Chains A and B, each alone.
Chain A
């Protein structure tokens, strides 16, 4: 009896505290991100950019943590442009993408909500608690989100603070990835690669952005002969590579070990270099600060990224994160690789060499 009374008093005091907090307009310690797949896209790059946007906004509001509300209504699981995602198969797409929500160091919690009523109540509750959200409540109710997601928020944050929030290995995988690389590839210079091959997937899209595989094979074979210390990790879906890669002994494919996107993102962050087409993995490399070469960068995306066509880097990028607007070939890939390999593996000062113009002449 007394226990019950104590519980009731505790609950009443809890409510009173909330009420007073509301009167003061408090609750500034957390920031909420709303990812509602009924109008937002199942796309790795966009989800990762969302994480950085959330990080920027949370830091501007001096919030200490981010709660992510993932709303998936099984009755309408995807936005109209992704009509191939249906109530029968959405769990596969959701499962594949969820690890991408674990990469923000400010992450406090993930709430997966599948019940429309609960989703409405949760959003209202955020409003009632005066918790800042992105997108804002009005944008969320209007289902307003422009794709592809631009870098407007990130660039503005960079202008004000001179840095951007970084993405890290998915929560619970950083240690695993470090140990895995140390055990499997000890002393090797590990390069993550992602030559995009949408034409090999079940839903091909914008296939003109696909990488020239013959050039990649030539590049990988040349590196195998000249730099036996280098080892490549091929990232991406299981269908996105040809069996030719299996024959190259300096290439490992995490998907053939049964690993998932979470493992791949962790391995990417733990590797020494990323090279690949503009894609979700390139976004992860960019925002994790890893040395990277992003090839075949789309002119269409330039205004979204807030850079002129032909720009060598994102405004917030490190000096050794390069954008390449033309289609890559074996020679270009090798030149960039050698440049970074000499600087990082050889422990030479990359920045000084770059600024002096000793390296990467052709890439400029």
Chain B
């Protein structure tokens, strides 16, 4: 099977792996290499004189996978030497330099080679760098970590980036290309003399940077390989050794000054991000080499710019911060110690300032807009001390602060708390409507300061298995009145919090039924002008829904008079029972006036398994949700049906139409009709004159919507 797979591909790929005393990680690493979905054509494993049981592991794999060739050094030659000796032996077109402690994911070769075969001019293909932490086996994707995602996130790059594109990307941020995430073209690598061994653990990234700058690179913007972060690894150990790092930087700068690397040096000057892995050590080395001061200046400028961007500082503070760091890096101990002391004192001053602000706020003498950060500082610090259990005084201080803090929170909350409960078993059409009425009443309260935000609380019986609260939750989401909202499912939890909230709330000079509102009881809608304004404010604009609905109406019902229809719902939330009664009447009206389109706002099962009756469009079955249906009620040409949440939404948008509500019959006007009679014939009979008054001229003449193209006729 694997041989067949290999024959399908024209380009060949080799994997080399050098191991020294990594028997612990080898099974995982070799399993990753051998478990590729596109198998490697050649796998060379070099044991560099290991003294643990590495050879046994390697031989076990070699027995199972004949593609593995094993070499053994009698004594430890070092990684670079082992790799340099192996390169001339390779016959494949592409190369993967795997590490014995890293892990390749199964799609690594398949995805990388697919791109390289499409872009044979590319020098290499690399993927996103992710790290597996040795102690916890936790995987860290740098590409999603705030602050560094702009370096490691490759999703903005095309699948092949030409040399000019690589330069552009490097000007913006460092481009990480480490050996375990790269498939490199072997002839290109050999043309620069292979990996420069004198650069030790930086040899791979230097060689790949040179190749990418000369040939371009393919990019896979996802993690295909995992780098193991262990303190004792080859690269980690080396990078902590400052003397060796300094020597490597000097060797790299020497190499860049050679004539064959002039082009690369030029790019490094333009893109100083390439020096960033060495941090301030690079400054110190460059400072001692006057011939490289051009690079130093470029790097310094870039570093200042990055620091300013990363810390969101002004230029003055940036220079001050970096000055301190530079002094520290240059090793001026006395200045550094003094500055450190000053910083410590400044931090203490900030802490004292925060404490003062906190206690002034606790005592109610601080009325400025409060941010949570000083309070966090104080309480978190006290919490830490209290949890350590240093003294009783600490614990007492912490408990006191917490009690006062809770008191403040309650004072803040109590001012504007409103509670609603549901008594019935189901969140019915009426309950949803009453939720809006409740908000409308809160917004109409004369004593309510306009800037005051409202906390709503809702209690639902947790044993109720048919409540279906999705519509209430939707209303909470779109409500402009309810800033914060609690839903209690547990009577005990509600009983703990609500009596206190209510006892405080009832002290306010407001209507009691607004403070504690029963959503299951029928509530009358006050249709005064102030009431309608409050109703309009209860619905926030829903741009996304409005955009979707507008486009739908333009495409599905062009030039038609659109009537939003809301029918009485059955206990299970569908309106099928009512729809059966209404359909013949709708059909009759449409046959008289083919230019009308009815959009049904309720859920229905009627169209399941067969085409839906063409006399009305069931918008909820067409992918539009509850919020979208509210938007449709507000943007249709007219409304007809129950005075439920859709009716309220339509009325808030001052839509003409027939609203089935007996309590407001006296409010009937020219374009808005309130009907006590809930029969379809009465409703549609009242709708007809409104429609003729509000609709376009052709409707009055009894023509179809689109006399020219006949689309309206067809509907």
List residues of chain A with CB under 8 Å of any chain B CB.
Answer: 4, 7, 10-11, 14-15, 18-19, 22-23, 30, 39, 65, 67, 80-81, 88-89, 91-92, 94-96, 98-99, 102, 107-125, 127-129, 137-138, 141, 143, 146-147, 150, 152, 171-176, 179-180, 184, 238-239, 249, 252, 255-263, 299-300, 303-304, 306, 309-310
Contacts and interface: CB of A to CB of B under 8 A. Distances in A.
Contact of A129 (B138, B406, B542): B406
A89 B484 contact: no
Nearest to A121: B409
A130 to B, nearest CB: 8
A119 B484 CA distance: 9
Q: Is the interface of B mostly helix, strand, loop or mixed?
A: mixed
Given A95-B474, A172-B468, A256 B379 contact: no
B300 interface: no
A171 B489 contact: yes
B206 interface: no
Q: Which of A14, A109, A119, A129 has the most C-beta atoms of chain B within 10 angstroms of its own C-beta?
A: A109
B402 A128 contact: yes
Q: Which of A7, A10, A118, A152 has the most C-beta atoms of chain B within 10 angstroms of its own C-beta?
A: A118
A19 B379 contact: no
Contact of A122 (B401, B402, B408, B409): B409
Nearest to B380: A137
A179 B405 contact: no
Given A22-B402, A128-B403, A299 B105 contact: yes
Given A108-B489, A128-B402, A171-B460, 9 more contacts: A4-B507, A10-B503, A18-B403, A23-B395, A109-B486, A113-B484, A119-B372, A137-B380, A258-B620
Interface in B449-499: 453, 455, 460, 462, 464-470, 473-474, 476-478, 483-490, 492-494
Nearest to A326: B37
Given A117-B370, A124-B409, A256-B608, A80 B395 contact: no
B399 A176 contact: no
A219 B629 CA distance: 35
Nearest to A87: B543
Interface in B605-651: 605, 607-609, 618, 620-623, 625-627
Contacts of B383: 127
B621 A258 contact: yes
A122 to B, nearest CB: 7
Contacts of A98: 473, 477
18 contacts: A18-B403, A108-B490, A111-B484, A115-B484, A118-B453, A118-B455, A120-B371, A125-B406, A127-B402, A128-B379, A171-B462, A172-B464, A173-B465, A174-B465, A176-B468, A179-B466, A257-B604, A258-B602
B390 to A, nearest CB: 15
B137 A88 contact: no
B489 A257 contact: no
A86 to B, nearest CB: 9
Contacts of A96: 625
Contacts of A173: 465-468
Q: Which 3 A-B pairs have the closest CB atoms?
A: A120-B372, A175-B465, A258-B620
A328 to B, nearest CB: 16
Contacts of A115: 453, 483-484
Nearest to A70: B485
A111 B406 contact: no
Given A7-B507, A256-B621, A180 B405 contact: no
B376 interface: yes
Interface stretch (B61-69, B139-147, B178-186): B139-147
A7 B408 CA distance: 18
Contacts of A111: 484-487
B544 interface: yes
Q: Is the interface of A mostly helix, strand, loop or mixed?
A: helix
B149 interface: yes
A133 B492 CA distance: 20
Nearest to B619: A258
Interface string B22-61: 0000000000000100000000000000000000000000
A118 B484 contact: yes
A143 B146 contact: yes
A111 B417 CA distance: 13
B146 A95 contact: no
A257 B574 contact: yes
A257 B474 CA distance: 17
A91 B623 contact: no
Contacts of A95: 473-474, 477-478, 625-627
Given A23-B395, A80-B149, A91-B478, A256 B607 contact: yes
B503 A257 contact: no
A114 B476 CA distance: 11
B211 to A, nearest CB: 27
B613 to A, nearest CB: 15
Contact of B406 (A7, A65, A128): A128
A176 B425 CA distance: 12
A172 B460 contact: yes
Contacts of A121: 372, 405, 408-409, 412
A260 B623 contact: no
A11 B500 contact: yes
Nearest to B490: A108
A272 B44 CA distance: 50
B545 interface: yes
B223 interface: yes
Contacts of A303: 132, 137, 139, 226
Contacts of A146: 138-141, 144
A81 B575 CA distance: 40
A192 B468 CA distance: 20
Contact of B623 (A81, A174, A238, A262): A238
Given A80-B146, A111-B486, A125-B405, A258 B375 contact: no
A178 to B, nearest CB: 8
B409 to A, nearest CB: 5
